[in-house]
Amino acid sequence: MIWIVLILGIVILGALLYWQLILAEGAYLGRFVVTLLYDWSARLYDRIKSFDPGYEQWFLGRPLSMALGVLPDPLILDVATGTARLARTLFQQAGFHGRLIGLDYSRKMLQEAVKETRPWAEQLTFIWQDASQLPFEDNTFDAVTCLEALEFMPDPEHVLREMARVLRPGGIMLITNRIGSGARWMPGRTYTPDTFQSKLRDLPLEMIRVQPWQEDYDLLWGRKPGMDGPVGLRRLEEILLCPKCQAHVSHKGQIFICQNGHQILIAEDGVLESARISTTRDL
Ligand SMILES: C[S@@+](CC[C@H](N)C(=O)[O-])C[C@H]1O[C@@H](n2cnc3c(N)ncnc32)[C@H](O)[C@@H]1O
């Protein structure tokens, strides 16, 4: 009898671990576990995903570049940028001359992103930061994107509100919604297509368009109502806020520093390490 209970226990534990770690990719175990799993798989990520450049260009790079077309130097924030899949296809578009900030909480994914985007390094900034707090002024970006990541965040709706906050009026939001069998394994983190659209409308976004994309994801395009606000390229000091006290920061050599002495280090690979703030007292 004891053996049956033991074997049953092991099977249930194995199934639970498979659900939590493989199917849900650590989503219910907190951002530390999610990030750890992405840190571990960062070097293999592109091989696992085997992105097809033509497909990326057709569904992401070209339509986003065209949507931003009339702006001379659009400024884009890619939340949970991973290995910079969006940046790579966008910068290959002939008509695109903007700047992109890629934010992610996995430092190792950002390391890969830096390596993969060397030809466009001048137009890119990567920030190591949790998406639940976007360290930017309101109404800043011409486009805010987040692909295949929202369901891994502890509070996806909060991240959506943050994304809408930093998007300028008239700006474009491009986001994925998990669908299909994958979504069934992530209750509370995924939404039916109708619910997701209504959440986007509540942000508020308008002109929402759902585009079938992959077996596991729909693409959703939307626009923030209104048409004012600063447009295009600005220096990082003008838009970056201290993640600890929300004060403006200034650039001094290898750091960004706010009036309260909180420092964001610019690492050797150029990544802004805002997830690890130090103060002048630490020196
Ligand atoms: C499936 S990958 C998607 C990466 C990229 N957007 C793409 O489409 O290839 C999910 C990404 O979300 C990031 N991520 C998960 N939770 C995060 C959080 N709380 N803040 C920022 N990034 C997060 C992971 O580190 C990982 O790079």
CA distances from 245 to 45, 79, 148, 273 (A): 34, 21, 30, 16
CA distance 74 to 142: 6
Instruction: Determine the pLDDT at residue 230.
Output: 67
Span 105-139, pLDDT tens digits: 999 999 999 999 999 999 999 999 999 999 999 99
Distance 116 CA to ligand 1 centre (A): 16
Q: Which CATH number fits domain 48-223: 3.40.50.720, 3.40.50.150, 3.40.720.10, 3.40.50.300?
A: 3.40.50.150
Q: Which two tokens stand for residue 103?
A: 């934010």
Is 281 a residue whose pLDDT tops 70?
A: no
d(CA 210, CA 130): 27
pLDDT at 182: 86
- Is the shortest distance between the CB of 31 and ligand 1 below 6 Å? yes
Measured from the CB, is residue 112 less than 6 Å from ligand 1?
no
- Name the residue among 138, 269, 254, 270 with its Cα closest to residue 278: 254
Q: How far apart are CA 83 and CA 87, in angstroms?
A: 9
The per-residue b/e assignment along 25-51, b for 16 or more CB within 10 angstroms, e otherwise, is bbbbeebebbbebbeeebeebbeeeee
Residue that has been written with the tokens 């009036």 in this structure: 259
The reported pLDDT for the residue numbered 278 is 86
Quick one: which of 236, 223, 222 has its CA closest to 135? Answer: 236
Give the pLDDT of residue 229.
Answer: 64
* CB of 150 shorter than 6 A to ligand 1: no
Q: Calculate how far, in angstroms, residue 210's C-alpha sits from the geometric centre of ligand 1.
A: 21
Q: d(Cα 55, Cα 62) in Å, to the nearest integer? A: 10
21-79 pLDDT tens trace: 888 888 999 999 999 999 999 999 999 999 999 999 999 999 999 999 878 899 999 99
Does residue 273 have a pLDDT over 90? yes
- Binding site membership of 126 for ligand 1 (Cβ less than 6 Å): no
For residues 119 and 158, what is the distance between their CA atoms, to the nearest angstrom?
Answer: 34
- Which distant-in-sequence residues (6+ apart) come within 8 Å of 277 by Cβ? 242, 243, 244, 262, 263, 264
pLDDT tens per residue across span 181-222: 889 889 889 999 999 999 999 999 999 999 999 999 999 999
Which residue, by CA, sits nearest to atom 25 of ligand 1? 106
| pLDDT value at 282 more than 60 | no
Task: Give all strands (DSSP E) within 70-136, no chain letters.
Answer: 75-79, 99-104, 124-128
Cα(261) to ligand 1 centroid in Å equals 29
CB-ligand 1 contact for 178 (6 Å cutoff): no
